[in-house]
Amino acid sequence: MEYTILFFANIKDLTGTSKTVLSLPVNSTVADFKKILCSSFPVIEGFIDNLLISVNQEFVFNEDIIPEKAEIAVFPPVSGGNDEVDILKITTEAIDINNLLTKVTLNTTGAAAIFTGIIRGETSRGNQFTTSSLEYEAYIPMAEKKLAQIADEIRKQWVSIERIVIVQRIGLMDAGVPTVVVICTAAHRDTGVFDAAKYGIDRLKEIVPIWKKEIGPDGETWIEGDYHPHKGD
């Protein structure tokens, strides 16, 4: 049976394509799929143990059976129920924090914890790297599904949270530009609102399929995370 396979970030670069079609036997496991994938694309064989696999926009593991007519995505570790009043999205537009805060401020709101991530012009990872711009890429349908999951997780842990904003911008952006914002609002500051916002950005970095490529005068490189999802992520 034929399956559509999607590639993202450096895996897309290595294979030279963002999408392909592979034939898999019925009732193949994820482990079976990895073997067939490496046979078709030997260039990724050395990376296969570190790659993440999703089926129909959910993380899967070696023993899982791949259902018929499934959409399969392959990507490195990410660098991620939806109440309609929350704002949870991937966008190519500039992030307007004041506008977002206005939209989630109620008459009962007395506190808002806001985190925003901004592109650094210089990054230190053992040696100095000057960043002129970053390019963000996302597996958008799965990413937005995971944003909704994070909002659910926040509400289960901090029941006093009123509204949640998690917005990630993708595309090519210059240093100094905000790329992500997490806002949690509540009636009071002592309701866990700070912890909730921190949890939101930390969790986004773990499970939302978003990657970034650093671009500078000395070249460009994909930045990978080191978190591997578990059952339930």
pLDDT of residue 126: 53
pLDDT of residue 17: 95
The residues that bridge with 166 in the sheet, in sequence order, are: 88, 182
Report the distance separating Cα 92 and Cα 182, nearest Å: 16
Which residues contact residue 141 at a Cβ distance below 8 angstroms, ignoring those fewer than 6 apart? Answer: 57
Q: What does the block give as tokens for 148?
A: 């909704």
pLDDT of residue 68: 92
What kind of fold does domain 87-223 have according to CATH? Aldehyde Oxidoreductase; domain 3 (3.90.1170)
pLDDT of residue 21: 94
Q: Which runs of consecutive H residues, i.e. helices, occur in 55-192?
A: 97-103, 140-157
pLDDT of residue 220: 87
Whole-model pTM: value is: 0.75
Which residues contact residue 203 at a Cβ distance below 8 angstroms, ignoring those fewer than 6 apart? Answer: 80, 150, 153
Per-residue pLDDT of the chain (233 residues; tens, 9 = 90+): 899 999 998 899 889 999 999 999 999 999 999 999 999 999 898 888 889 999 999 999 999 999 998 999 999 887 644 445 899 999 999 999 999 999 999 999 999 999 999 998 876 655 556 788 999 999 999 999 999 999 999 998 998 899 999 999 999 999 899 999 999 999 999 999 999 999 999 999 999 999 999 888 878 888 878 888 888 88
Q: Does this chain's domain 2-75 share its CATH topology with 87-223?
A: no
pLDDT of residue 131: 80
What kind of fold does domain 2-75 have according to CATH? Ubiquitin-like (UB roll) (3.10.20)
Report the distance separating Cα 151 and Cα 83, nearest Å: 8
Instruction: Report the amino acid identity of residue 157.
Output: Q
CB 220 within 8 A of CB 130: no
pLDDT of residue 80: 45
Q: What does the block give as tokens for 193?
A: 């609102």
The 3-class secondary structure across 47-95, one letter per residue, is HHHHCEEEECCEECCCCCECCCCCEEEEECCCCCCCCCCCEEEEECCCC
The structural domains of the chain, with segments of one domain joined by +, span 2-75, 87-223
